[in-house]
Amino acid sequence: MVKIAPSILSANFAKLGEEIKEVEQGGADYIHIDVMDGHFVPNITMGPIVVEAIRPITKLPLDVHLMIENPDLYIEDFAKAGADYITVHVEACPHLHRTIQLIRSFGAKPGVVLNPATPVETIQHIIEDVDLVLLMTVNPGFGGQSFIHSVVPKIRQVKDLVDSKGLSVEIEIDGGVNKETAKICVDAGANVLVAGSAIYNQKDRKAAIQQIRENIES
Protein backbone atom coordinates (compact mmCIF):
# COMPACT_ATOMS: atom_id res chain seq x y z
CA MET A 1 0.00 0.00 0.00
CA VAL A 2 1.48 3.33 -1.10
CA LYS A 3 1.54 6.09 1.53
CA ILE A 4 0.76 9.72 0.78
CA ALA A 5 2.60 12.42 2.74
CA PRO A 6 1.19 15.92 2.13
CA SER A 7 3.85 18.60 2.52
CA ILE A 8 2.57 21.48 4.62
CA LEU A 9 5.01 23.81 2.85
CA SER A 10 2.17 24.56 0.43
CA ALA A 11 -0.49 24.86 3.16
CA ASN A 12 -1.96 28.12 4.47
CA PHE A 13 0.18 28.82 7.56
CA ALA A 14 -2.43 31.16 9.00
CA LYS A 15 -4.64 28.11 9.60
CA LEU A 16 -2.14 25.30 9.77
CA GLY A 17 -4.12 23.19 12.25
CA GLU A 18 -7.17 23.03 9.99
CA GLU A 19 -4.98 22.37 6.96
CA ILE A 20 -3.46 19.33 8.67
CA LYS A 21 -6.79 17.99 9.92
CA GLU A 22 -8.21 18.26 6.43
CA VAL A 23 -5.55 16.02 4.87
CA GLU A 24 -5.73 13.59 7.80
CA GLN A 25 -9.47 13.22 7.20
CA GLY A 26 -8.75 13.03 3.48
CA GLY A 27 -6.71 9.86 3.88
CA ALA A 28 -3.11 11.09 4.26
CA ASP A 29 -0.64 8.67 5.87
CA TYR A 30 2.15 11.01 7.06
CA ILE A 31 2.51 14.76 7.50
CA HIS A 32 5.66 15.95 5.70
CA ILE A 33 7.36 18.94 7.35
CA ASP A 34 10.01 20.82 5.38
CA VAL A 35 12.65 22.48 7.57
CA MET A 36 14.92 24.95 5.73
CA ASP A 37 17.69 27.11 7.15
CA GLY A 38 18.58 29.58 4.39
CA HIS A 39 22.06 28.02 4.13
CA PHE A 40 21.72 24.46 2.88
CA VAL A 41 18.84 25.67 0.71
CA PRO A 42 17.91 29.21 -0.37
CA ASN A 43 14.75 29.45 1.73
CA ILE A 44 13.80 29.63 5.43
CA THR A 45 10.76 27.83 6.85
CA MET A 46 10.13 26.39 10.30
CA GLY A 47 11.82 24.85 13.32
CA PRO A 48 11.06 22.53 16.26
CA ILE A 49 8.53 24.97 17.71
CA VAL A 50 6.20 24.31 14.77
CA VAL A 51 6.61 20.54 15.06
CA GLU A 52 5.72 20.82 18.75
CA ALA A 53 2.59 22.82 17.93
CA ILE A 54 1.46 20.31 15.30
CA ARG A 55 2.12 17.19 17.39
CA PRO A 56 -1.09 17.24 19.48
CA ILE A 57 -3.44 18.02 16.59
CA THR A 58 -2.85 14.89 14.49
CA LYS A 59 -2.37 11.17 15.04
CA LEU A 60 -0.39 10.82 11.82
CA PRO A 61 3.36 10.25 11.93
CA LEU A 62 5.34 13.47 11.47
CA ASP A 63 7.92 13.11 8.70
CA VAL A 64 10.48 15.85 9.29
CA HIS A 65 12.72 16.63 6.31
CA LEU A 66 15.77 18.59 7.46
CA MET A 67 17.24 20.77 4.72
CA ILE A 68 19.76 22.36 7.07
CA GLU A 69 23.49 22.48 7.69
CA ASN A 70 24.80 20.87 10.89
CA PRO A 71 21.63 18.83 11.51
CA ASP A 72 23.28 17.10 14.52
CA LEU A 73 22.78 20.32 16.50
CA TYR A 74 18.98 20.15 16.18
CA ILE A 75 18.10 16.46 16.10
CA GLU A 76 17.36 16.26 19.83
CA ASP A 77 15.05 19.29 19.60
CA PHE A 78 13.09 17.85 16.68
CA ALA A 79 12.81 14.43 18.32
CA LYS A 80 11.59 15.94 21.59
CA ALA A 81 9.14 18.12 19.67
CA GLY A 82 7.49 14.92 18.40
CA ALA A 83 9.09 14.05 15.05
CA ASP A 84 8.52 10.38 14.14
CA TYR A 85 10.83 10.32 11.13
CA ILE A 86 13.85 12.60 10.90
CA THR A 87 15.50 12.65 7.48
CA VAL A 88 18.88 14.26 6.82
CA HIS A 89 20.64 15.06 3.56
CA VAL A 90 23.69 12.99 2.67
CA GLU A 91 25.16 16.23 1.27
CA ALA A 92 24.90 17.93 4.69
CA CYS A 93 26.33 15.09 6.81
CA PRO A 94 30.10 14.44 6.75
CA HIS A 95 29.60 11.84 9.50
CA LEU A 96 26.41 10.30 8.18
CA HIS A 97 26.60 7.09 10.22
CA ARG A 98 26.98 9.09 13.44
CA THR A 99 24.05 11.32 12.53
CA ILE A 100 21.83 8.30 11.87
CA GLN A 101 22.78 6.81 15.25
CA LEU A 102 22.01 10.14 16.91
CA ILE A 103 18.49 10.19 15.43
CA ARG A 104 17.87 6.65 16.67
CA SER A 105 19.26 7.45 20.12
CA PHE A 106 16.46 9.99 20.57
CA GLY A 107 13.81 7.46 19.58
CA ALA A 108 13.04 8.76 16.08
CA LYS A 109 13.23 6.80 12.83
CA PRO A 110 16.20 7.87 10.72
CA GLY A 111 15.97 8.58 7.01
CA VAL A 112 18.54 9.74 4.46
CA VAL A 113 17.85 12.11 1.58
CA LEU A 114 19.64 12.33 -1.77
CA ASN A 115 19.56 15.42 -3.97
CA PRO A 116 18.94 14.76 -7.68
CA ALA A 117 22.68 14.80 -8.54
CA THR A 118 23.80 12.59 -5.62
CA PRO A 119 24.44 8.96 -6.54
CA VAL A 120 22.81 6.02 -4.75
CA GLU A 121 26.29 4.60 -4.02
CA THR A 122 26.65 7.19 -1.22
CA ILE A 123 24.16 5.24 0.91
CA GLN A 124 25.08 1.65 0.15
CA HIS A 125 27.05 1.25 3.39
CA ILE A 126 24.37 2.73 5.67
CA ILE A 127 21.24 1.30 4.04
CA GLU A 128 20.93 -1.27 6.85
CA ASP A 129 20.88 1.51 9.45
CA VAL A 130 17.97 3.58 8.14
CA ASP A 131 14.18 3.21 8.08
CA LEU A 132 13.68 5.37 5.01
CA VAL A 133 15.43 6.68 1.91
CA LEU A 134 14.08 9.90 0.41
CA LEU A 135 14.94 10.72 -3.18
CA MET A 136 14.54 14.35 -4.23
CA THR A 137 12.93 14.78 -7.64
CA VAL A 138 13.44 18.56 -7.53
CA ASN A 139 16.29 20.67 -6.18
CA PRO A 140 15.23 21.28 -2.58
CA GLY A 141 14.12 24.71 -1.43
CA PHE A 142 10.69 25.40 -2.83
CA GLY A 143 7.33 23.80 -3.48
CA GLY A 144 5.66 23.80 -6.87
CA GLN A 145 8.68 22.85 -9.02
CA SER A 146 8.66 20.36 -11.91
CA PHE A 147 9.52 16.69 -11.44
CA ILE A 148 13.04 15.81 -12.66
CA HIS A 149 12.56 12.62 -14.67
CA SER A 150 16.24 11.68 -14.75
CA VAL A 151 15.95 10.67 -11.05
CA VAL A 152 13.58 7.78 -11.87
CA PRO A 153 16.38 5.21 -12.51
CA LYS A 154 17.68 6.00 -8.99
CA ILE A 155 14.35 4.90 -7.52
CA ARG A 156 14.75 1.48 -9.15
CA GLN A 157 18.38 1.38 -7.98
CA VAL A 158 17.41 2.02 -4.34
CA LYS A 159 14.62 -0.56 -4.61
CA ASP A 160 17.10 -3.16 -5.92
CA LEU A 161 19.59 -2.31 -3.14
CA VAL A 162 16.90 -2.67 -0.46
CA ASP A 163 15.54 -5.92 -1.93
CA SER A 164 18.99 -7.44 -2.46
CA LYS A 165 19.62 -7.12 1.26
CA GLY A 166 16.14 -8.29 2.26
CA LEU A 167 15.39 -5.01 4.06
CA SER A 168 12.07 -3.23 4.56
CA VAL A 169 13.38 0.32 4.13
CA GLU A 170 10.74 2.75 2.90
CA ILE A 171 11.41 4.58 -0.39
CA GLU A 172 9.99 8.08 -0.43
CA ILE A 173 9.88 10.57 -3.31
CA ASP A 174 9.72 14.34 -2.87
CA GLY A 175 9.28 17.06 -5.45
CA GLY A 176 6.88 17.59 -8.34
CA VAL A 177 4.73 14.60 -7.42
CA ASN A 178 1.27 14.87 -8.93
CA LYS A 179 -1.29 12.40 -10.25
CA GLU A 180 0.81 11.79 -13.39
CA THR A 181 4.29 11.49 -11.86
CA ALA A 182 3.04 9.50 -8.85
CA LYS A 183 2.50 6.42 -11.00
CA ILE A 184 5.99 6.66 -12.51
CA CYS A 185 7.49 6.72 -8.98
CA VAL A 186 5.46 3.78 -7.72
CA ASP A 187 6.15 1.71 -10.82
CA ALA A 188 9.87 2.30 -10.20
CA GLY A 189 9.60 1.05 -6.59
CA ALA A 190 8.59 3.98 -4.36
CA ASN A 191 6.14 3.41 -1.50
CA VAL A 192 5.83 6.89 0.06
CA LEU A 193 4.93 9.96 -2.00
CA VAL A 194 5.31 13.51 -0.74
CA ALA A 195 2.95 15.97 -2.43
CA GLY A 196 2.75 19.66 -1.57
CA SER A 197 1.23 21.79 -4.29
CA ALA A 198 -0.62 18.85 -5.90
CA ILE A 199 -2.69 18.56 -2.71
CA TYR A 200 -2.70 21.98 -1.04
CA ASN A 201 -3.25 24.00 -4.21
CA GLN A 202 -6.50 22.10 -4.77
CA LYS A 203 -9.70 23.25 -3.11
CA ASP A 204 -10.75 19.70 -2.26
CA ARG A 205 -7.74 18.06 -0.62
CA LYS A 206 -9.49 14.74 -0.08
CA ALA A 207 -10.27 14.52 -3.80
CA ALA A 208 -6.65 15.42 -4.63
CA ILE A 209 -5.35 12.58 -2.43
CA GLN A 210 -7.90 10.16 -3.89
CA GLN A 211 -6.96 11.11 -7.43
CA ILE A 212 -3.30 10.38 -6.77
CA ARG A 213 -4.27 6.98 -5.33
CA GLU A 214 -6.56 6.14 -8.24
CA ASN A 215 -3.87 7.00 -10.78
CA ILE A 216 -1.31 4.82 -9.00
CA GLU A 217 -3.65 1.85 -9.12
CA SER A 218 -4.68 2.35 -12.76
Q: Which sequence positions are flagged as catalytic?
A: 34, 174
Cα first-last separation, the chain = 14
Instruction: Report the distance separating Cα 218 and Cα 213, nearest Å.
Output: 9
The residue among 27 and 144 lying less far from ligand DX5, judged by its C-beta, is: 144
Give 166's DSSP letter: T
Q: Judged by CB under 6 A, which stretch of 73-81, 89-97, 98-106, 137-145 contacts ligand DX5?
A: 137-145
Identified binder of ligand DX5 from the candidate list 30, 62, 65, 133, rule CB under 6 A: 65
The pattern of x and - marking residues 14 through 53 that bind Zn ion according to CB under 5 A reads --------------------x-------------------
Q: Which residues neighbour 32 within 8 Å (Cβ) at sequence distance 6 or greater? A: 5, 6, 7, 8, 63, 65, 174, 194, 196
The residue among 102 and 134 lying less far from Zn ion, judged by its C-beta, is: 134
Closest CA to 144 of 194, 73, 81, 92: 194
The nearest distance, CB 9 to ligand DX5, in angstroms, is 4
Instruction: Report the distance separating Cα 136 and Cα 113, nearest Å.
Output: 7
Q: Judged by CB under 6 A, which stretch of 21-29, 91-99, 115-123, 194-202 contacts ligand DX5?
A: 194-202
45 in helix, strand or coil? coil
The residue among 124 and 146 lying less far from ligand DX5, judged by its C-beta, is: 146
Instruction: Report the distance separating Cα 209 and Cα 11, nearest Å.
Output: 14
Residue 216, amino acid: I
Whether the CB-CB separation of 22 and 205 falls below 8 Å is answered with yes
172 near Zn ion (CB under 5 A): no
Instruction: Report the distance separating Cα 12 and Cα 45, nearest Å.
Output: 13
The nearest distance, CB 166 to ligand DX5, in angstroms, is 29
Q: Work out what residue 132 binds among ligand DX5, Zn ion, none; the CB cut-off runs from 5 to 8 Å by kind.
A: none
The residue among 107 and 196 lying less far from ligand DX5, judged by its C-beta, is: 196
Residues of the shown chain interacting with ligand DX5 in the complex, contacts defined by CB under 6 A: 7, 9-10, 32, 34, 65, 138, 140-145, 174-177, 194-198
